[in-house]
Amino acid sequence: TQLLEQSPQFLSIQEGENLTVYCNSSSVFSSLQWYRQEPGEGPVLLVTVVTGGEVKKLKRLTFQFGDARKDSSLHITAAQPGDTGLYLCAVRLNQGGKLIFGQGTELSVKP
């Protein structure tokens, strides 16, 4: 059983479209992170959300933490080919503890 359920797992869209990726769990977390990974590289941290209901924006990316701190979403507005990559949500089980990842969402944005 996955601690974090990400959906969709694959997404192929045209440049300019909007999309939302979801990260759900039945557990409550003190914080949740989103990463982006390009082929052949390590993941890069995009954002950490810590407060229930929190919304953070990073240019065309909007991250939201659920009110109950069990789920999160990533919304991309007007996607561009440069957004192509693997998007991963992740949580730490405790302070200084291991990081557990969702299954990932493979995004392909076609020009």
Question: Residues interacting with other proteins, by CB under 8 A?
Answer: 31, 40-45, 48, 86, 88, 92, 95-96, 98-104, 106
- Cβ closest to other proteins, residue 58 vs residue 78: 58
- Cβ closest to other proteins, residue 20 vs residue 103: 103
Closest Cα to residue 50, out of 63, 62, 37?
Answer: 63
- Cβ closest to other proteins, residue 78 vs residue 99: 99
Q: How far, in Å, CA of 9 to CA of 100, rounded?
A: 17
Give how far the C-alpha of residue 97 lies from the chain's centroid of Cα atoms, to the nearest Å: 20
Give how far the C-alpha of residue 23 lies from the chain's centroid of Cα atoms, to the nearest Å: 7
- Supply the DSSP symbol for 39: T
Give me the least distance between CB of 94 and other proteins, in Å please. 11
Give me the least distance between CB of 59 and other proteins, in Å please. 20
- Cβ closest to other proteins, residue 7 vs residue 16: 7
Give me the least distance between CB of 14 and other proteins, in Å please. 21
User: What are 90's strand-pairing partners?
Assistant: 33, 101
